[in-house]
Amino acid sequence: MLTLFNTLTGKQDPFESLEPNKARMYVCGVTVYDYCHIGHARSALVFDVLRRYLEYSGYEVSFVKNFTDVDDKIIKRANEQGVSCEAVTAKYINAYYEDMGKLGIAPATKEPKATDHITDIVAMTETLVKKGLAYHVDGDVYFQVDKYPAYGRLSKRKLEDLQAGARVEVDERKHHPVDFALWKRSKAGEPSWPSPWGPGRPGWHIECSAMSIKHLGETFDIHGGGMDLIFPHHENEIAQSCGATGKEFARYWIHNGFVQVNQEKMSKSLGNFFTIREIFEKSKWSQDVTGEVLRYFLLSTHYHGPLDFSDQGLHEAKQALEGFYGLFNRLREPESNTVADRNLVSVIDRAREAFQKAMDDDLNTPVAVSELQKLRYDVNKLLEVGLSTGERQQAREAFRLVGSVLGLFQLDRWEYGAKLEPGQYQLSSTEVDAKLVERNEARKRKDFRKADEIRRLLAADGITIEDKPDGTSRWKR
RNA sequence: GGCGCCGUACCCAAGUGGCUAAGGGAGCAGUCUGCAAAACUGCGAUGCAGCGGUUCGAACCCGCUCGGCGCCUCCA
């Protein structure tokens, strides 16, 4: 059974969905004012894998992930560039899909935008005002934190501690320094919508409450996001939502750790971040390879802990994946010698069981991946003894099936080596095959000078040759 | 000041009370090979930052020390 570390309870809880075989999850997406960096990729990937694993485990998953498309940073960006906010958000939403698509991150079931839910947001704000949990001052509406006694239960903070540590300028109009905006009066030139308190725009936290409740119901299963969202964002979401509905909000709160660079948090403010597209542009590997390498790399650390981003880490991930795809290539070859081996099925079953056990343990992807490494080892050994064509296909399918949970091993063909020129090889596959025939004829004649010359020629095009015992060769690049 | 995380081999990374401390990358030696590549076989932490303590037993629990980091402010 799947257990998940729940920030709310501070421990690993068995996952039991509200409705049998149905899981409803909401994940805080991105504010679309810039390109996504690796940190966004990690978060998106973690919840993509959670969703895939729930589906693999037999759940029908309703997965909602929002776009924050109204915000101070967007307004600022639009003003800097002299374009409309819509132009900014449209651009970066497109970029988001492009980047995440390269990473193999599947779109959520629903991906709502804040600006499409203004009426829901206004309605929820009104409810909170009516219930006396929020108050109106000069066109702004604030949530009154001390009216919600459970405030701080997610982040394990006491109101007094927050007050003592507050480094923000205190807005005198607020009843309590920690009170936060549900609705903000718009200044001239800012996006604005009509409301009972005058023209304005939503605060940040309320959109997630309004959209998650609208699309998933007042109480749903999983709510996720980066560690940094625990406070204040998720704490505020809980206060608003529970305050408005009087019911429990999300039951499992899942938070992923940060991507760091040189042991430091990667962030915009530190300027030490890498965007996803930078990684792809910089990479000497093909797009498919880079996407899978990045996935493998990100999944080789448990989602809850920090992850140090480095070229070396990426390279190690690539090497590890090459081991898998090398095996897949061999599995594609028709049998030569058949030694019936009944172990294959048990080896696969054992691997699947171990894989599930690891994933059940709070999505322990590093262990899950290592179980697949063990399967690779086992299948390689069986291949030495001899597997029939059917068994080879069976083995390949097992990797494909289990790998699909992690989004790995789905490619038919993997470009191993570095490209000479971005986008183009010198030699086509048929030309390579012809060269190999030529080389093997030379080998038969023991003309090894000629054979090695051809090898060098192909190597210059990024191709590695592997000679098989039967005198033919396979190649990869 | 408050809350919290981390320190495991050359590198990455699981393990959080009890079989020989997973797995990967790199390395070394061997099998195979015309050579190579791949695969396979073998080697590699008597020890888990340090020091104390609890326990029959600790990397794992407790305390202290050292080192690194995060949140409390927009942030995945």
Q: Which of A240, A244, A139 is nearest to A195 (CA)?
A: A139
Does residue A65 have a pLDDT over 80? yes
Query: Which nucleotide's C1' is closest to A446 (Cα)?
Result: B34
Fold observed for domain A311-406: Four Helix Bundle (Hemerythrin (Met), subunit A) (1.20.120)
* pLDDT of the residue at A415: 83
Bases on strand B under 7 Å from any protein CB: 1-6, 11-15, 22-26, 32-41, 68-76
Sequence-distant (≥ 6) Cβ neighbours of residue A325 within 8 angstroms: A411, A414, A416, A476
* Partners of A439 in the β-ladder: none
Tokens of A462: 């990024």
Does residue A167 have a pLDDT over 60? no
Residue A454: pLDDT band (50, 70, 90) is very high
Q: Where are the domains of chain A?
A: 3-261, 311-406, 429-476
Higher pLDDT, A97 or A470: A97
Q: Phi and psi at residue A25, in whole multiples of 5°?
A: -135, 145
**What ipTM was assigned to the predicted interfaces of this complex?**
0.94
Contact A414, A325 (CB under 8 A): yes
Rounded to an integer, the average pLDDT of A393-418 is: 92
Report CA(A471)–C1'(B31) in Å, whole number: 19
Examine domains A3-261 and A311-406 and report if their fold is the same. no
Report CA(A259)–C1'(B6) in Å, whole number: 14
Query: Which nucleotide's C1' is closest to A370 (Cα)?
Result: B23
- Mean pLDDT over the full length of chain A: 91
Residue nearest to nucleotide B34 (CA to C1'): A448
Residue nearest to nucleotide B25 (CA to C1'): A316
Tokens of A467: 């000679």
Report CA(A330)–C1'(B35) in Å, whole number: 22
Contact A248, A219 (CB under 8 A): yes
Distance CA A326, CA A419 (A): 18
Query: A48-77 b/e with 16+ CB inside 10 Å = b?
Result: bbbbbbbbbbebebbbbbbbbbbbeebbeb
Tens of pLDDT, residue by residue over A296-310, are: 999 999 999 889 999
Rounded to an integer, the average pLDDT of A408-432 is: 78
Pick the CATH number of A3-261 from 3.40.50.1110, 3.30.1360.100, 3.40.50.620, 1.20.120.550: 3.40.50.620
Distance CA A25, CA A212 (A): 9
Report CA(A367)–C1'(B13) in Å, whole number: 9
* pLDDT of the residue at A11: 84
Tens of pLDDT, residue by residue over A373-402, are: 999 999 999 988 888 898 999 999 999 999
Report CA(A56)–C1'(B52) in Å, whole number: 49
